[in-house]
Structure 1
Amino acid sequence: MSDTETHARTQAQPRPSDAGATDAGPIQTGTAPEAGRQLPTNDELTVHYPCKYVPVELLAGFGAGCWPCTYEAHSFEEADQLAHPNLCGYGKSLLAYAMQPDVRVLVLTSCCDVMRRVYDVLRDAGAVDFLWLVDLPHLRGPREVARFRGELRRLADAFAAWSGRAFDLDRALASFVPPVPRVDDRVTLLGAHGPLSLVDTCRDELSLPVENGTCTGWRLVQTPPPTLGRAPHEGSCHVCQDGCEAGIPRGDDLDHFLDWYAGALLNQMPCMRMVDSKARAKLVGAPGQHGVIYHTMKFCDYYGFEYLEAAKESKVPMLKIETDGTRQSAGQLRTRLKAFDETLHGMAEAHEVVTRRRGADGGPTYVLGVDSGSTSTDAVIMDGNERIVASVIVATGAKASRGAQNAIGQVLERAGLREGDLTLRVATGYGREAIPDMDSAITEITCHARGAHFLAPDARTVIDIGGQDSKVIHLDEAGGVLNFVMNDKCAAGTGRFLEATARAMELSMEEFCRVGLEWKRDVKISNMCTVFAESEVVSLVADDTPIADIVHGLDMSVASKTAALAKRVKAEPAYLMTGGVAQNVGVVRALEAVLGSSVATHEDSQLCGAIGAALLGLESLN
């Protein structure tokens, strides 16, 4: 393959409704279908598959359309009833997918233990008419290719017996899709199974083209050699071909095809299941690649290990995301992807801020920045000289829009301004899209970076611990985002975690922050889950453990979790802590102990996001 072609590409597949028709005649029963279910007709035979090692070209030779399983379930209720709840998210989503009535044929591979479990569950449930598990070798040498060829032949024989169709070499060869030209200036999605919604969200939120390089995205089987297309049919003479003696038959089209195809299919870019996966190092930092989004599945370590190694050596920005097989975190995912896009393009270029002044009469400039968070909504008005005219912090309440309107009203009153005096309005935070009449919305990652650089120009790492999430942002000397990581899956290690444990000890937050400084001995809090930590605190109180020691243990647990996030982005001093938890001196000191460096705070730390939004608005006007 030439350097102008990508080393991998998505296998184009027909949709189920477009599955190719065949002239093989009526389908004969190979194995009896489930009672009450009809075998598919000639033009609706679709094979569903989850893995790039499934032989879709072989199955296309039987006139079957092939459709990848890139599905996210709305609920795992049925999957949990069929299998163990600790099955990974992809395994559960695959079970939910297979239980749909239009999924009649499913071919799996033994790419991991979960796929074997899924096969066992579906086989026992009788969920599909034709179910097959292709056993994959761990190695890719000659003996493994020969064994793999045998696996493919067994599948072909079983599929032919079940469907009543014959293998057609021309149809199989026609199903190969040639490599597409590589697109320079792109972002690569790598890692574990990438559902269509993830790929679509990446392409919606990023300004650069996105190539899907997940293990269900890229599927590159080398182009068949011309001699394969000229393979003689069974029983024909092979005079003078490959040194064969005249009149000796070479076997049928299927055998001839499999002799070549087994090695070509097995020797794609290896997945993490393969023993030798060194070639995957080429996937990060390839020419024209501006960034990498690395996807892992909850409860799966295969690709998590690769990410850790790749992140150490990568010269391009990398963003790690984790999904669980559902769309429950779609909002947070969009935030992280948009922030990554802003990181790639630079803070002053990625956002779309209206550059016209309200009134355009040459009067004073006032820019409003609103940070709509889960717990509080912060608002700042800044003038054209980057001076904070007024600021407020109010409770968000039940609705982000109502909390924002309250904050805007109060900050205007403090500034002595009317709405018409505002030149520009910029929103950030999780609720930014819910605030009406704003001129622009920018992610909190970009805004916190800009605000932190304003408050502490020497800061290289921002630690923001808010009400329900925490984030660590690594900055360059100009305040640009080098990398960032967010804990947005649960409230572990956040302000909500501390509030819940304070309630368990019947302390106000003011008392909680103060008493933690009076500790005498270390107490280990083993649970970061808010619910379990509350129970652990109650047990410690019942054992007469001093309250100050318990609070210090909680502070240290938050600091340890935050330090683990900081390590992932290669954080470095100087540190600036923002967010509401920055007011908790015990947590700040615990962070200093764990990080081995001083951690600064600022009197306006909680306003950091709103300040950054206002500053970015001002920059856009210039």
Structure 2
Amino acid sequence: MIGYVCKYTPIEIFTALGVETSRIEPDVTNFDQADTLMHPNMCSYTKAVLEDSISKDYEGIVLTTCCDSIRRLFDILKEQYPDKFIYLLDVPRKVNDFSISIYVKRILEMVEAYEDYSGKRFDKEELFKLFDKQLKERKLEENQELKNVERTEEERQENKINIGLMGARCSKGILELLKKSNVNIVFNLTCTGLNRDYVLVHDNILFSYASNLLNQFPCMRMQKATNRENYLEGLQDEINGIIYHTVKFCDNYSYEYTHLKEVIKKPILKIETDYTKQCAGQIRTRVEAFIESLEVTANLNKKRSIRKNTGDDRMYVLGIDSGSTSTNAVILNEKKEIVAFHVVRTGAKSGESAERILEEVLAKANMKREDIDTIISTGYGRVSIPFADQNVTEISCHGKGANYLNPKIRTILDIGGQDSKVIKLNDKGEVIDFVMNDKCAAGTGRFLEMMARTLEIDISELGPISLDWKEDIDISSMCSVFAESEVISLIALNKEKSDIAHGIHKAIATKSYSLLKRVGLEGEYMMTGGVAKNPGVVKAVEEKIQDKLFISKEPEIVGAIGAALFGLE
């Protein structure tokens, strides 16, 4: 089997030779081997391909000259696997008759190299027969699609969100998540999306084949990349929003995203991943929250399956926010009054924490489980609560909860145990924009817990003592590991704990301010999450934004309130 990564790879050549090909779809949990062979800051997709290449028994791998990272990957594979067919195909950046002729020559050089390697012989007539067969199969598929066109159109119109995909290649996880959601993928223009609907000219088969390959929707390395924007402008009316995927340390697509954000008049969600399975939680939250916000904009009414109250007019709904640090629950009645709330520490299993808080909040309310009409879950552990009737992202729930507590709020800063996020609301409390930090503990509750342990104080003391600072100390690094080293160095210099704590809180405020600026500074402001109980962080953020933060009596339960409100609706 020949593995490949790029849509410009002439894989049909190998098929005509009787060789199976497989597009490499990395599905890795770490880069242990890749980090040994590559620099740690190399493109994470390239490292994932290397991990995949090491774990699977490919006969050979064909790469293209799309970037320096892939060139480095080729060097490593060539060195590691001298007995395999490892080939780097130089793809022209321009598309004209001259560049097509050059590409034909390079394809033939690749064919010759594989013939020498395998002993097989390439026949152009077999390539033509292959495409002729594929053309006949496509016509049969098209006829079948025509029979289903009315049903398909009905499905597209019935409470569906239309999404366009752009950027670097999306992982299988993102595509599967979208399939399970209430969306239609109108187009997939990620860098390696394949469309092999080619018709070849028999008399000049290789030239027409190379022409078809180069005339695909251009990737970012191609000179015709500006056509991407023109194509997108023509599709704006067919989509509700765009999901733009980038890979860490891949700058090309980050530049395009920044440009499209300014010129495209549709909501765009940027998701940046390191191509590991561990990204799944944050990616799911981002994508689902984006879809929820688009549903609001499109005025779609999602059908929610909930239990119906069969008694009198009273109704009780339960919202559970399963976070990484705490699990919070709120019971509301039909008048939107809080009947009871409770907060517990999230243990090793979110499902067990949810079961525990369910029992304890019901006991507080002097109620039984059957008294609850609807249960809505939110937070990172929302999908791990089997007794919930529905789950909604914490982005939407924090917006709903904040609007309930203070309708004047337009911007929410939520600092939880695992991440930080900023949520922008309209005057109805609906989410119109949001940003989240990357997969990193910097500036979160976990970060503060680590700093408190280093200072040998309880986390509850960190905020109050920081208010008595005397020396203005700067903590330059927000990385939890490096910041801890800085704090240890400051302790060695006999600096006061209050001054160090103040420096830590300033660093968090600076990181939060950068998130706030990404959605636009607009008051009134609210801070939610457990870190909102830290007066040192609150004061540092207020100094940065030069405005007051609204802090509710129980900032940890805002998301659970929002979930309960969704249950009432």
TM-score, length-scaled by structure 1? 0.81
Q: Which residue of 1 aligns with 2:409?
A: 459
| Pairing 1:167–2:124 present | yes
CA distance in 2, matches of 1:128, 1:369: 59
Instruction: Output the amino acid matched with 1:594.
Output: K
Q: Which residue of 2 aligns with 1:314?
A: 264
For residues 302-361 of structure 1, the C-alpha deviation after alignment (integer angstroms, 9 at most, x for no partner) is 212222222233322222222222212223322322222222223996766434334x02
Shift of 1:383: 1.0
Q: Which residue of 2 aligns with 1:532?
A: 482
Moved more, 83-92 or 425-434: 83-92
Shift of 1:512: 1.3
Match of 2:170 among 191, 194, 200: 194
Provide the identity percentage.
Answer: 41
Q: Which residue of 2 aligns with 1:96?
A: 51
Report if the CA contact (8 A) 2:397-2:559 is conserved: yes
Shift of 1:146: 4.2
CA distance in 2, matches of 1:308, 1:209: 22
Shift of 1:577: 1.0
Q: Which residue of 2 aligns with 1:515?
A: 465
Report if the CA contact (8 A) 1:458-1:574 is conserved: yes
CA distance in 2, matches of 1:166, 1:160: 11
Match of 1:131 among 82, 86, 94: 86
Report if the CA contact (8 A) 1:122-1:128 is conserved: no
Q: Which residue of 1 aligns with 2:290?
A: 340
**Which structure features the higher share of helix residues?**
2
Report if the CA contact (8 A) 2:4-2:24 is conserved: yes
| Pairing 1:208–2:184 present | yes
Note closer, same or farther for the CA distance 1:60–1:400 as it changes in structure 2 (3 Å cut).
Answer: closer
Q: Which residue of 2 aligns with 1:278?
A: 226
Q: Which residue of 2 aligns with 1:29?
A: none
CA distance in 2, matches of 1:128, 1:453: 64
| Pairing 1:357–2:334 present | no
| Pairing 1:258–2:213 present | no
CA distance in 1, matches of 2:301, 2:230: 28
CA distance in 2, matches of 1:523, 1:156: 64
SS at match of 1:398: coil
Q: Which residue of 2 aligns with 1:7?
A: none
SS at match of 1:412: helix
Q: Which residue of 2 aligns with 1:427?
A: 377
CA distance in 2, matches of 1:54, 1:128: 21
Note closer, same or farther for the CA distance 1:549–1:190 as it changes in structure 2 (3 Å cut).
Answer: same
SS at match of 1:87: coil
Instruction: Output the amino acid matched with 2:128.
Output: D
For residues 171-214 of structure 1, the C-alpha deviation after alignment (integer angstroms, 9 at most, x for no partner) is 35435779989987521221112233332222223433464321
Report if the CA contact (8 A) 1:342-1:350 is conserved: no
Instruction: Output the amino acid matched with 1:56.
Output: I
TM-score, length-scaled by structure 2? 0.88
CA distance in 2, matches of 1:275, 1:555: 47
Report if the CA contact (8 A) 2:162-2:186 is conserved: yes
Report if the CA contact (8 A) 2:165-2:185 is conserved: no
CA distance in 2, matches of 1:281, 1:463: 33
- List structure 1 segments (4+ residues) > 6 angstroms apart after TM superposition: 176-184
Shift of 1:540: 1.5
Match of 2:108 among 153, 159, 165: 153
For residues 202-236 of structure 1, the C-alpha deviation after alignment (integer angstroms, 9 at most, x for no partner) is 22234334643211124467x446xx23x1xxxxx
CA distance in 2, matches of 1:145, 1:546: 69
| Pairing 1:113–2:68 present | yes
Report if the CA contact (8 A) 1:48-1:69 is conserved: yes
SS at match of 2:49: helix
CA distance in 1, matches of 2:467, 2:19: 69
CA distance in 1, matches of 2:70, 2:327: 45
For residues 377-400 of structure 1, the C-alpha deviation after alignment (integer angstroms, 9 at most, x for no partner) is 111111111111221222222332
SS at match of 1:364: coil
CA distance in 2, matches of 1:148, 1:586: 62
Match of 1:288 among 233, 238, 242: 238
For residues 251-270 of structure 1, the C-alpha deviation after alignment (integer angstroms, 9 at most, x for no partner) is xxxxx333344344223322
Report if the CA contact (8 A) 1:70-1:193 is conserved: no
CA distance in 1, matches of 2:548, 2:264: 28
SS at match of 2:183: coil
| Pairing 1:390–2:366 present | no
Q: Which residue of 2 aligns with 1:42?
A: none
Structure 2: tracts of 5 or more residues without a match: 146-151
Shift of 1:428: 1.3
For residues 141-191 of structure 1, the C-alpha deviation after alignment (integer angstroms, 9 at most, x for no partner) is 555444333322312332344432322242354357799899875212211
Note closer, same or farther for the CA distance 1:128–1:314 as it changes in structure 2 (3 Å cut).
Answer: farther
Structure 1: tracts of 5 or more residues without a match: 1-45, 232-255
Moved more, 492-501 or 394-403: 394-403
CA distance in 2, matches of 1:437, 1:291: 32
Compute the RMSD of aligned alpha carbons. 2.8
For residues 86-143 of structure 1, the C-alpha deviation after alignment (integer angstroms, 9 at most, x for no partner) is 3322112211222345421321101011111111111111266322111133444555
Match of 1:556 among 493, 500, 506: 506
Instruction: Output the amino acid matched with 2:375.
Output: R
Note closer, same or farther for the CA distance 1:607–1:112 as it changes in structure 2 (3 Å cut).
Answer: same
Report if the CA contact (8 A) 1:485-1:565 is conserved: yes
CA distance in 1, matches of 2:239, 2:545: 33
SS at match of 1:329: helix
Note closer, same or farther for the CA distance 1:564–1:86 as it changes in structure 2 (3 Å cut).
Answer: same
Task: Give the count of matched residue pairs.
Answer: 545
For residues 259-311 of structure 1, the C-alpha deviation after alignment (integer angstroms, 9 at most, x for no partner) is 34434422332212235522222465523111211111123222122222222
